[in-house]
Amino acid sequence: MSVVRRSISSQTFRVLHRSFNTLSDPSPPLSHGIHVLYCPDSVGIVAKISECIASRGGNILEADVFVPQNKNVFYSRSEFVFDPIKWPRAQMDEDILNLSKKFNANRSVVRVPSVDPKYKIAVFASKQDHCLVDLLLAWQDGKLPIDISSVISNHDRLPNSHVMRFLERHNIPYHHLSTTKEDKRENEILQLVQDTDFLVLARYMQVLSKSFLNRYPKDIINIHHGLLPSFKGGNPCRQAFHSGVKLIGATTHFVTEELDCGPIIEQMVERVSHKDNLLSFVQKSENLEKQCLLKAIKSYCELRVLPYEENRTVVF
């Protein structure tokens, strides 16, 4: 029997994990699926999601639901197992589409990680390597369901640098596009990222214009080396150091027209003290940035991130 926990204040409940071992040994092996739904709230949504999955022989392993108080919206994320012979992928898409139409969904997505293509991304970076290197290593180790189509930078790198050797070894194109205040090379960048699913700014120290954001309508994820909404803009570590803070942080957020003001996906913090100097602030910050960026990308790829209100997110 699964355990259900309900929070009165947010009307949130979680169905705890059910182990694969509790299921009978399937033949053929079961596949794993993820479904997220964001729609106007109404009676019976959870029941219909369960019915949709169960009617095809599927079994829900984990479910999260969020219904904010005094707002007519419903969020859910379900992980389930199913027999791909009994529930073919095309039929699943049709069933989920019918479900989304029934509830007039703002967003309804189903993903089968073992079957569906990995997310195709381009990574932007400037001079500093730490976030880029950590992301490349995570991709190499198979920790993220992504394919890196290219790395784009406004800084050139020496051919024998560790980044360039890694990219060459894995056949990942590197595009050096030197920028000026008058020319951000955005038309060329747009040509390079046309076929991507989303973009990652791994310490890319250029501001993307409103025109670029309008012409690239997909999500762009940025890492900011500060605990937003404090210390926006440049040199946040220096700002934090001179402000005498006792906690420093890193923030991963979606890119919007207003600098460093997009919906926040993930934040991490670390304690500092009067014993720290600016260098130790920067070192601690860089470590947080790497972790924060990877966790945000992983959450995004696992369909854990949904829009909430104008400038917030639900992260299951």
Cis before 28 (ω within 30): yes
Count CA within 13 A, CB hemisphere, residue 41. 12
Q: In angstroms, how far apart are the furthest CA atoms of the chain?
A: 64
User: 256: how many CB neighbours lie within 10 A of its CB?
Assistant: 16
Residue type, position 21, single letter: N
Q: Helices 130-140 and 162-169 meet at what angle, rounded to 10?
A: 30
* Rounded CA separation 222/264 (Å): 10
Residue type, position 149, single letter: S
- Note if 260 is an active site residue: yes
Torsions phi, psi for 262 (to 5 deg) = -75, 165
* 8 Å CB contact between 259 and 232: yes
Among 83, 93, 260, 276, the active-site one is 260
- Please give the positions annotated as active site: 260
